[in-house]
Amino acid sequence: MSENEENPKFMFKDIGLGKSMELTLESAAPVKTGEGKYGTWTLWFGSVDNAKVHKGRGATETVEDGYQGKVIFFPPKVLNRDLEKAANGMEGVKVKVTKTAEEGMKGLITRYVVEKLSGGTPSDSSITPTEMRLIGEANDLKGDGHNVTKDIFVKASQEPQYEGKISQARAEKLYAMID
């Protein structure tokens, strides 16, 4: 049984419309990312109090209400970005996620609003979430058979999606961390 299967799964869709859920982010950024049938996914570890969680998988899955303890969760893309922003390189950040909806061209669009409740503590990792994203994307490219040279890596670190948060000198140091 993998580490992910030991912890119950918290699902944001279980939050009622207009309702909120408080959770503590155990890390400053997702602990794992990957590609699946529906696009990129991110895995986080956290803690909840009085939440509905899912245990097991498939036919053996059970639902437990009022759970308190550690969970795993897979936030949608926009929510993931907002959680990373709230964590801001800190671990143990407590957030409140409120589920809202607004009318879109094709019907209701679900939105999750993140409110930071406490600051947490500095991450043991000296790598920021933005730097972790760069390293992860470089590793994904290498895994797909692309040759990611130091020059390409440093040049990529200056692209707009990294918001100017990684200096060229820092990118050269980060290059040593890719697989």
Domain(s) labelled CATH 2.40.50 in the chain stretch across: 3-122
- CATH 1.10.20 at 3-122, yes or no: no
Beta bridge partners of 63: 54
Give the pLDDT of the chain (179 residues) as one tens digit per residue: 344 447 899 999 999 999 999 999 998 888 888 888 888 899 999 999 999 999 988 888 899 999 999 999 999 999 999 998 898 878 899 999 999 998 888 888 899 999 999 887 766 556 777 888 898 889 889 888 999 999 999 999 999 888 888 888 888 888 877 76
Rounded to whole angstroms, how far apart are CA atoms 144 and 179? 12
Residue 68's SS3 state is: strand
- Are residues 12 and 99 in contact, defined by beta-carbon separation less than 8 angstroms? yes
Beta bridge partners of 7: none
Q: DSSP string covering 125-147, please?
A: S---HHHHHHHHHHHHHHHTT--
pTM (predicted TM-score): 0.65
| pLDDT tens-digit series, residues 71-82 | 999 999 999 999
